[in-house]
Amino acid sequence: MIAIDDEEGFLGLLKLALEHCGYTVHTASDPGDAIRLYEERWRDTALVFLDFLLPGTSGDAVFEELQRLNPDVRVVLLTGCEESVAHKMFQRGLRGYLQKPFSLGDLAQKAREAIHSP
């Protein structure tokens, strides 16, 4: 699993929460680093949690790059914005959406749903 968010504190908490749920998690706070990380690890990455607002780019642009590397990438968007912001990403294969703040239970449920959905 890969978690991408530019807020280091939040990213650390996200990693801890997902590891608590039994997942191995790699993190990136920079969009370029995130794309390189996915390029190296895409074969063993079941899911990517992706922040919508990233420095110098958007989650949508990173999502496009991840899909270029692997059209079947499973991504859950993390954002403080309304779900309507992600509408076009859902049309292109986004697997889920979590609005910040969210609970550990919501995070775990969204991870299971995204990983096991057809």
CATH at 102 = 3.40.50.2300
pLDDT of residue 82: 66
Residues 25, 3 contacting (CB under 8 angstroms): yes
Residues 54, 4 contacting (CB under 8 angstroms): yes
Q: Is residue 53 part of a domain?
A: yes
Sign of the C-alpha dihedral, residues 88, 91, 68, 80? positive
Q: Is residue 105 part of a domain?
A: yes
Number of domains observed in the structure of the chain:
1
Q: Is residue 70 part of a domain?
A: yes
Checking if the pLDDT of 80 tops 80, the result is no
Question: Measured between alpha carbons, how far is 23 from 107 in angstroms, rounded to an integer?
Answer: 12
What does the mean pLDDT of the chain come to?
93
- How much is the pTM? 0.94
Q: Band of the pLDDT at 117, cuts 50, 70, 90? A: confident
The pLDDT tens digits for 19-61 are 999 999 999 999 999 999 999 999 999 999 999 999 999 899 9
> In which domain, by residue range, is 103 found?
2-113
Q: Is residue 118 part of a domain?
A: no
H/E stretch holding 69:
helix 59-69
